[in-house]
Amino acid sequence: MNRYNPEALVRKSQEARNQAYCPYSKFRVGAAVLTSNGTVFTGCNVENASYPLGLCAERTAISKAVSEGHTRFKAIAIARYFSIYKWTNNVSASTDTAIQQTVFMSSVLQFGSQWDVYLSKSDGSYKVMTVEELLPCSFGPDDLRATENTVGNSKL
């Protein structure tokens, strides 16, 4: 996939969703990440009985890419169930979903905020958002690189 094709990326994420290991939640998620050179890596959620040890699909796909030497990305497509009501009325997600999205988006931010996120439904339709739109008040590598941080009169 050398040419940027959102529909193909969405299809790859939907295919990856079929591989999900989710014996506890039965909630399948797939992701496909597009690197800057056009390579696509897919991932699915992998649950663990100890919930914090599970992996989300997005982190799995990014980890696969990084393990193969890729650290620059153009886009990611995510295939999961999105409530039709939330989708059409821009209603914010529940607290649990928001926390999961924050963990995922923090993982994405490690590699920059200038890439697109395609949120897809089962029928292949999708909504595109930017990393910044999904996590507007983020904390990432740029914050750690700040040369001078101050709190009150003391420097950190």
- Nearby residues of 14 by Cβ (< 8 Å), 6 or more positions away: 30, 79, 120, 122, 124
Binding residues: 45-51, 56
Higher pLDDT, 155 or 62: 62
Amino acid 99: pLDDT: 40
Amino acid 111: pLDDT: 83
148 is catalytic: no
55-66 average pLDDT score: 94
Binding residues for substrate: 45-51
Considering the domain 6-155 in this protein, what is its CATH number? 3.40.140.10
**Token digits of residue 10:** 């969405």
Share of the chain above pLDDT 90, in %: 43
The closest alpha carbon to 73, from 44, 105, 112, belongs to 112
pLDDT at 112 over 90: no
Binding residues for Zn(2+): 56
The count of other CB atoms within 10 Å of the CB of residue 115 is 17
Catalytic residue selected from 15, 58, 132, 148: 58
d(CA 113, CA 34): 14
pLDDT at 93 over 50: no
pLDDT band at residue 145 using 50, 70 and 90 as cut-offs: low
This model's pTM is above 0.85 = no
> Which residue type occupies 107?
S
Coil, strand or helix: which one is 7? Answer: helix
